[in-house]
């Protein structure tokens, strides 16, 4: 096969299939040379009919992308290597690089310290909170933290609430806004309607914390020199953070993670390497997908899903542990009619609808697919994407064994769980 690639025969076939021949670089050879010559005629026919229907409605085929691949066999393609607006398929890149960087079990740590001592429930000094990129620190986490502070004897703070580093709360990245939300969450007597509502979803018997902060919220670039650490708060595992982000396509979470990874450019570069495609096929301006300047090729979207699956194998996990599953999860799939057990990521902008993921089949096993549409008919695009996959699944068939290969293996960790707070030592005066 490598000889075919080197001789130019493979490049001629790629061009005939509407795919630009990739630059001959080590990172590209393995992907291109691994694809078997030829397509599945039935799959190609179904995809062609799908594209013709879009064309009949006035949508240019040059703005529609498709890539369908089973292992090392390319089944169908349209604009396969052309970067198109990706919308929230961008979050697949963010998820891939996050998993590659930290691993599925990683937890972000928020440290809570003090500059003073506790006397009869009163902390005479500042309460210092140092964040390091937890993208899902929400009301439940603040309530739990307040109860932890109560357990170590803190019910009142005479000083300020000092925010250090990348602390976010309720998806608010402005540290002053996040700090004021935390101040509210720590003290049940100041809760508004939103905090009360979230508290009602927590396990019965959860206490209502009371940590009254008399001072103001202050921002500092670094923690006080004489700070004494009290609590180490661990986030949910990265696996659950990514699952929540992808089920609801949460833009704020994606932006927080991308910032922690070094920004959109770093995410794009690393995702392209992991997906084994040229850098030009993943072009990102942020980690969420907001904006049509976030582009990727249909081939790159599938390459990223395949890379994620490879990374998860040592942990005995699948993409279903990190992305929504049709028939199981709601969120962005609530109104969709996708084949059951299909693992997907959706993407939507005003004139963009994208869908990529993995579908279990009897004929080929797990099949990776990517569908990218552009035009002013987003709702219609979604219906047609679902119908396309239904028609293809009819041809491919499915079995219980195929579905089992894409079953999630992780159990959800509850929000606001007290066992994620590690009490380091009781509050004492700094030496």
For residue range 91-145, list pLDDT tens digits in order. Answer: 999 999 999 999 999 999 999 999 899 888 999 999 999 998 899 999 999 999 9
Of 416, 423, 105, 108, the closest CA to residue 234 belongs to 108
Average pLDDT of each block of 10 consecutive residues along the chain (431 residues)?
Answer: 30 36 34 53 93 95 95 92 98 98 96 92 95 94 96 95 94 96 98 96 94 96 89 95 97 97 98 97 98 98 96 94 94 95 97 97 94 97 97 90 70 71 68 45
Length of the chain: 431
Pair 324, 109: CB distance under 8 Å: no
Domain boundaries, the chain: 39-104+240-398, 109-235+415-423
pLDDT tens per residue across span 350-397: 999 999 999 999 999 999 999 999 999 999 999 999 999 999 999 999
Question: Partners of 217 in the beta sheet?
Answer: 161
pTM over 0.85: yes
| Three-state secondary structure call for residue 278 | coil
Of 329, 364, 361, the closest CA to residue 345 belongs to 329
User: What is the reported pLDDT for 166?
Assistant: 84
Pair 113, 322: CB distance under 8 Å: no
For domain 109-235+415-423, give the CATH number.
3.50.80.20
| CATH 3.40.50.12780 given to domain 39-104+240-398 | no
């Amino acid at each position: 096969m490598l000889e075919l690639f080197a001789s130019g025969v493979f490049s001629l076939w790629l061009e005939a299939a509407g795919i630009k021949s990739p630059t001959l670089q080590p990172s590209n050879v393995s992907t291109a040379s691994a694809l078997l010559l030829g397509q599945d005629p039935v799959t190609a026919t179904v995809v062609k009919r799908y594209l013709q229907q879009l064309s009949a409605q006035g949508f240019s085929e040059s703005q529609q992308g498709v890539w369908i691949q089973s292992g090392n066999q390319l089944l169908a393609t349209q604009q396969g290597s052309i970067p198109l607006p990706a919308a929230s398929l961008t979050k697949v890149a963010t998820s891939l690089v996050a998993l590659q960087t930290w691993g599925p079990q990683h937890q972000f740590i928020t440290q809570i310290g003090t500059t003073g001592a506790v006397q009869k429930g009163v902390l005479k000094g500042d309460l210092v909170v140092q964040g390091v990129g937890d993208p899902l620190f929400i009301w439940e986490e603040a309530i739990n933290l307040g109860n932890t502070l109560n357990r170590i004897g803190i019910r009142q703070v005479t000083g300020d609430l000092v925010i250090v580093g990348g602390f976010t709360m309720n998806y608010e990245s402005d540290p002053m806004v996040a700090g004021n939300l935390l101040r509210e969450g720590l003290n049940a007597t100041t809760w508004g309607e939103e905090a009360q509502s979230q508290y009602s979803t927590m396990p019965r018997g959860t206490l209502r914390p009371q940590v009254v902060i008399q001072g103001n919220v202050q921002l500092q670039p670094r923690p006080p020199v004489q700070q004494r650490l009290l609590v180490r708060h661990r986030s949910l595992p990265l696996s659950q953070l990514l699952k929540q982000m992808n089920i609801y396509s949460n833009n704020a979470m994606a932006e927080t993670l991308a910032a922690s990874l070094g920004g959109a450019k770093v995410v794009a570069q690393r995702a392209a390497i992991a997906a084994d495609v040229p850098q030009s096929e993943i072009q990102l301006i942020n980690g969420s997908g907001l904006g049509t300047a976030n582009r990727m090729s249909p081939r790159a979207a599938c390459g990223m899903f395949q890379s994620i699956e490879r990374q998860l194998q040592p942990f005995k996990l699948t993409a279903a542990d990190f992305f929504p599953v049709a028939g199981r999860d709601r969120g962005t799939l609530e109104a969709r009619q996708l084949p059951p057990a299909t693992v997907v990521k959706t993407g939507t902008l005003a004139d963009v609808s994208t869908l990529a993921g993995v579908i279990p089949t009897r004929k080929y096993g797990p099949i990776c697919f990517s569908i990218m549409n552009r035009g002013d008919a987003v709702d219609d695009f979604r219906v047609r994407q679902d119908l396309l996959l239904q028609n293809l699944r009819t041809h491919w068939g499915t079995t219980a064994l195929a579905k089992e290969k894409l079953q999630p293996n992780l159990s959800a960790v509850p929000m606001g769980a007290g066992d994620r707070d590690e009490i380091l030592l009781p509050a004492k005066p700094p030496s």
